Amino acid sequence: MLRPQDTRTRERKSLDGLWSFRVDTEGVGREERWFAAPLAGGVQMAVPASYNDLLADAGVRDHSGEVWYQRTVRIPRGWSGRRIAVHLESATHRATVWVGDTAVVSHEGGYTPFEADVSELVQPGDEVRLTVCVDNRLSFRTIPPGVIEQTAVGPRQRYWHDFFNYAGIHRSVWLSATPVAHLDDVTVVTALDGTAGTVRYTASAVAADGLDARAVLRDADGIEVGRASGTDATIAVDPVHPWAPGDGYLYDLELQLLDHAGEVVDSYHQSVGVRTVEVRGTEFLINGEPFRFTGFGMHEDHPGLGKGHNDALLVQDFALLGWIGANSLRTSHYPYSEDVLDHADRNGIVVIDETAAVGLNMGLGGGIFGGQGYQTFSEDTINDETQRVHAQAIRELVARDKNHPSVVLWSIANEPESDTEEAEHYFRPLFDVVREADPTRPAGFVNVMLAPHGKCRVSRFADVLMLNRYYGWYVHAGDLEAAEQAWDEELRAWAGEGKPIIVTEYGADTLPGMHAVDPQPWSEEYQVAYLDMNHRVFDRVDAVVGEHVWNFADFATTPGAMRVGGNKKGVFTRDRAPKGAAFALRRRWRRDLAAPSAPSRPDQA
Ligand code: BDP
C-alpha cells in the first residue's frame, strides 16, 4: 500500500475537518446499524484529533468502547474509470469503515494506515456517506495490551503503559484516485562507495500486465541524475549528496508505469536519502561514520489535541529539537504520524522507530514498580495470539517506514518482561520477523531496569542495546552519589557485551517553577543535577553511543499517586516552555554538534 499522493496520474482529496460524532455508550451501534443512516444525535468532532479532551465531558474522555464518526463526501466527477480508495493514516486502536451501508475494511492496531478500494461502491459525481467506528479497548490480544476489569462500579479499562489511552482518528483521512493499473509498493535500498551512491528500487504493481516500468531519479533541484527500466533496478549517482544526520538531503525517485506508446499510465514519487547504517562492534555507523544519538523519547501529545497530528505543532517540536541540539528521537511508544517521519527525513533527524508494544510487563505499571496481579506470559494473558498480533504490528511498521532514511533502527517493544524463559520464547521469533521484513537495518528492543545485565534473556537477539534506567529517580531517588555508583556498575557490565548501547530513557519528574538550593527531587535544579550525573556515567563508557532523555515534553497519563497532572519528566512543559534542564542540555548537545567528527559531505571536500 502506498500513501495517497497528487501526481500526474494520481489525485487525493482530504477528508479532514469536522465530522459528526457519537459515543456508543451502550455498545448498540453495530446492532442498530448506525452506519445505515445519518448519525442520530451526532455532535461535531475534529479530524484529526483525539476525541477525549475536546467535549468537556469526563464520560467521553474516559469512555471505553466504540465511538462513531460520520460525514458525507462527494466523489470528484472526473474520477470515472479510476481506482477509488478510502485511506486512513490511523484509527486508534481498531476501526471498521462503511461506505453507505457496506462495510469496506476493518483494521487492528492504532498507529498504522489502512485503506479500502471502494471503486465498485461509488459513482463519480455522487455524494456518499462515510462512517467509521473506532474502538479504543485494549485486551491481552492487542498491541499494546490491556484488560477490561469488572469492578463494583462497572467495567474499567486497565493498561500497563504510562500514557493516556487517547483514541479516535488521529491522522488524516483521504479519498484517493489512482489508475486501475497502478504501482502498489516500492522498496528502496541505498549504498555509498566513496563519492558514489546507488539507489536500488524494487516496485510492484497491480493490473499492470503488458506495461513497462521505469524510474527517474532527480536531485533536490529537480535535475535528473539517473534513470532505469524495470521494476527492480539500481541507479548509480556520482557524485552523490548523501543523506546524513543534520543534512536531510533528499532525491526524488519517480516510478512510472508506461504503455506501449511510452505514455505514463501511473506515476508515484518516492523521496530517497542515500545513506548507510551499520553496527560494527560497539559503534553505530551512519555513512561509515560513528554516530552518537542525542535527543529524546517523545510522545505524540498536546493539550486538547491529545495524539492528533498537527503540522504547526510538528514544526514547533522540530524547531525545539534543533534549538536544543538533538540529532535524533525515538517514536516512543508507537509508530508516529508519517508526517513526522517525512519531517525527520527533510531535517536530517535520526529516528529509532518503535512498535506499539508497550506494557508487556506485569512487573511494571505506569512507570511504578509493583505486581499487577497478572502473569505477563500465560495462556490467558500475553500468548501466541498476542505474538501473532505483535508480529503483524512489526510488519506494518516496516512496510510503512522502510523507505525513510531517517529511520536507522527498529525497536520492537518497550520495556517488556525480558528476564524469563517465556519472554525468550516470545521474542526470539519476533526478531526473525523484523529481520525478514527489513534485512538492512539493525533491530532491538528497549530493556527495562527489572531485567538488568546478567538477567535479561532477550538482549542477546538485539543488534543494539537500548536501556531505560532511572538511577536517581525510581531507585536512589535524591541520592545522586549512590545512583552514580550503581549506574556506573551496571552500564560497564552491559558494555562488556560488545554491542553499542543507547540509553533510551533517563529522566526525573520536574515541576516547572519549583526551585531548591540543595537539589531536591521534583525541582528544576534536581533535573539538571540528575542529567549531569547520567552524563558523567555515559562519558566514562565508550560503548554508549546515545543518550535520549525521557521525555521531550510533559505528557498526559492516567491519574495516579505518582503523577501530578501527568508525567512531568519533560525537558519542556506540555505546552513547550523550557525547564532549566533544556538550557543545560543545549549546552552539552550544541557542543557535541560542533565537534569535528560530524560526517563530512563530498561536496564540501
Ligand atoms: C518507563 C517507560 C515510560 C514511562 C517512564 C516513567 O518506558 O513510558 O513514562 O518509565 O516512568 O518505564 O516516566
Task: State in Å: Cα 468 to ligand 1 middle.
Answer: 8
Which residues does 523 contact at the CB level (< 8 Å), separation at least 6?
Answer: 510, 511, 514, 515, 516
CA distance 555 to 566: 6
CA distance 280 to 342: 27
Mean pLDDT estimate for the chain: 96
Name the strand (E) or helix (H) holding 320.
Answer: helix 311-324
Judge whether residue 605 has pLDDT over 50: no
pLDDT at res. 595: 52
Q: Measured from the CA of 414, which atom of ligand 1 is nearest?
A: 7
Could you tell me the three cell numbers for 433?
Answer: 520477523
DSSP states along 92-138:
BSEEEEEETTEEEEEEE-TTS-EEEE-TTT--TT-EEEEEEEEE---
Burial label, 459 (beta-carbon count in 10 A; 0-12, 13-18, 19+): buried
- Tell me the pairing of strands 293-297 and 544-550: parallel
Decide if 269 contacts 203 (C-beta within 8 A).
no
Active site residue 415: yes
pLDDT in tens, 541-562: 999 999 999 999 999 999 988 8
Task: State in Å: Cα 366 to ligand 1 middle.
Answer: 7
Task: State in Å: Cα 579 to ligand 1 middle.
Answer: 19
Which residue owns the Cα nearest ligand 1 atom 5?
A: 367
Residues with Cβ within 6 A of ligand 1? 162, 333, 367, 414-415, 468, 505, 550, 567, 569
- Tell me the pairing of strands 17-23 and 182-193: unpaired
Task: State in Å: Cα 331 to ligand 1 middle.
Answer: 13
Task: State in Å: Cα 367 to ligand 1 middle.
Answer: 5
- Cis link prior to 179 (omega < 30° from 0)? no
Which residue owns the Cα nearest ligand 1 atom 10?
A: 367
Q: Measured from the CA of 557, which atom of ligand 1 is nearest?
A: 9
Task: State in Å: Cα 334 to ligand 1 middle.
Answer: 14
Which residue owns the Cα nearest ligand 1 atom 12?
A: 367
CA distance 67 to 51: 9
CATH architecture of 11-178: Sandwich (2.60)
Mutation probe of ligand 1 site: the residue of 333, 415, 474 with most atoms within 8 A of C-beta: 415
Backbone angles phi, psi at 426, to 5 degrees: -70, -45
CA distance 149 to 168: 22
Name the strand (E) or helix (H) holding 433.
Answer: helix 421-437
pTM, to two decimals: 0.96
Task: State in Å: Cα 469 to ligand 1 middle.
Answer: 9
Q: Which of 415, 484, 490, 547 is catalytic?
A: 415
Q: Measured from the CA of 368, which atom of ligand 1 is nearest?
A: 11
Residue tagged 505474538 (cell numbers): 387
CA distance 325 to 318: 11
Instruction: Tell me which residue of 273, 206, 269, 271 sits closest to 240, measured CA to CA.
Output: 273
- The pLDDT of 578-605, averaged and rounded, is 73
- The pLDDT of 452-468, averaged and rounded, is 98
Burial label, 586 (beta-carbon count in 10 A; 0-12, 13-18, 19+): middle
Judge whether residue 215 has pLDDT over 80: yes
Judge whether residue 265 has pLDDT over 50: yes
pLDDT in tens, 417-426: 999 999 999 9
Judge whether residue 598 has pLDDT over 90: no
**Between the CA of residue 367 and those of 165, 473, 550, what are the distances in Å?**
15, 11, 12
CA distance 258 to 260: 7
Residue 371 — very low, low, confident or very high, per pLDDT cuts 50/70/90?
Answer: low
Mutation probe of ligand 1 site: the residue of 567, 568, 571 with most atoms within 8 A of C-beta: 567
Residue 593 — very low, low, confident or very high, per pLDDT cuts 50/70/90?
Answer: very low
Name the strand (E) or helix (H) holding 66.
Answer: strand 66-74
pLDDT in tens, 239-255: 999 999 999 999 999 99
- Tell me the pairing of strands 407-414 and 368-369: unpaired
- Cis link prior to 260 (omega < 30° from 0)? no
Task: State in Å: Cα 228 to ligand 1 middle.
Answer: 48
Long-range own/partner contacts, residues 428-437 (CB < 8 A, 24 or more apart)? 428/461, 429/387, 429/391, 430/387, 430/390, 430/391, 430/394, 431/461, 431/462, 433/391, 433/394, 433/395, 434/394, 434/398, 434/410, 437/394, 437/395, 437/398, 437/399, 437/402
Which residue owns the Cα nearest ligand 1 atom 2?
A: 367
Instruction: Tell me which residue of 384, 360, 385, 390 sits closest to 372, measured CA to CA.
Output: 360
Q: Measured from the CA of 367, which atom of ligand 1 is nearest?
A: 11
- The pLDDT of 430-439, averaged and rounded, is 98
Task: State in Å: Cα 203 to ligand 1 middle.
Answer: 40
Residue 596 — very low, low, confident or very high, per pLDDT cuts 50/70/90?
Answer: low
CA distance 295 to 324: 9
pLDDT at res. 560: 87
Active site residue 379: no
- The pLDDT of 146-158, averaged and rounded, is 93
Which residue owns the Cα nearest ligand 1 atom 9?
A: 162
Backbone angles phi, psi at 104, to 5 degrees: -110, -25
Q: Which of 11, 300, 505, 524 is catalytic?
A: 505
Over 537-602, what HEC string results?
HHHCCCCEEEEEEECCECECCCCECCECCCECCCCECCCCCECHHHHHHHHHHHHHHCCCCCCCCH
Residue 123 — very low, low, confident or very high, per pLDDT cuts 50/70/90?
Answer: very high
Which residue owns the Cα nearest ligand 1 atom 11?
A: 367
Residue 445 — very low, low, confident or very high, per pLDDT cuts 50/70/90?
Answer: very high
Domain with CATH 2.60.40.10 in the chain: 182-277
Assigned fold of 290-604? TIM Barrel (3.20.20)
Which residue owns the Cα nearest ligand 1 atom 13?
A: 367
460 DSSP 8-state letter: G
Q: Measured from the CA of 415, which atom of ligand 1 is nearest?
A: 7
Judge whether residue 520 has pLDDT over 60: yes
Task: State in Å: Cα 92 to ligand 1 middle.
Answer: 21
- The pLDDT of 80-107, averaged and rounded, is 98
Instruction: Provide the strand spans (E) within 448-568.
Output: 465-468, 501-505, 544-550
Residue 298 — very low, low, confident or very high, per pLDDT cuts 50/70/90?
Answer: very high
Q: Measured from the CA of 446, which atom of ligand 1 is nearest?
A: 7
Q: Percent of the chain, pLDDT > 90?
A: 95
What is the three-class DSSP state of 266?
Answer: strand
- Tell me the pairing of strands 328-330 and 350-354: parallel
Please tell me which residue, 444 or 595, carries the higher pLDDT value. 444
Burial label, 595 (beta-carbon count in 10 A; 0-12, 13-18, 19+): exposed
Which residue owns the Cα nearest ligand 1 atom 8?
A: 162
Could you tell me the three cell numbers for 572?
Answer: 519542556
Instruction: Tell me which residue of 251, 247, 237, 248 sits closest to 192, measured CA to CA.
Output: 237
Please tell me which residue, 498 or 596, carries the higher pLDDT value. 498
CA distance 273 to 489: 39
CATH architecture of 182-277: Sandwich (2.60)
Mutation probe of ligand 1 site: the residue of 468, 554, 563, 574 with most atoms within 8 A of C-beta: 468
Mutation probe of ligand 1 site: the residue of 330, 417, 550 with most atoms within 8 A of C-beta: 550
Which residue owns the Cα nearest ligand 1 atom 6?
A: 367
- The pLDDT of 93-121, averaged and rounded, is 98
- The pLDDT of 74-85, averaged and rounded, is 98
Domain with CATH 3.20.20.80 in the chain: 290-604
Q: Measured from the CA of 509, which atom of ligand 1 is nearest?
A: 13
pLDDT at res. 373: 85
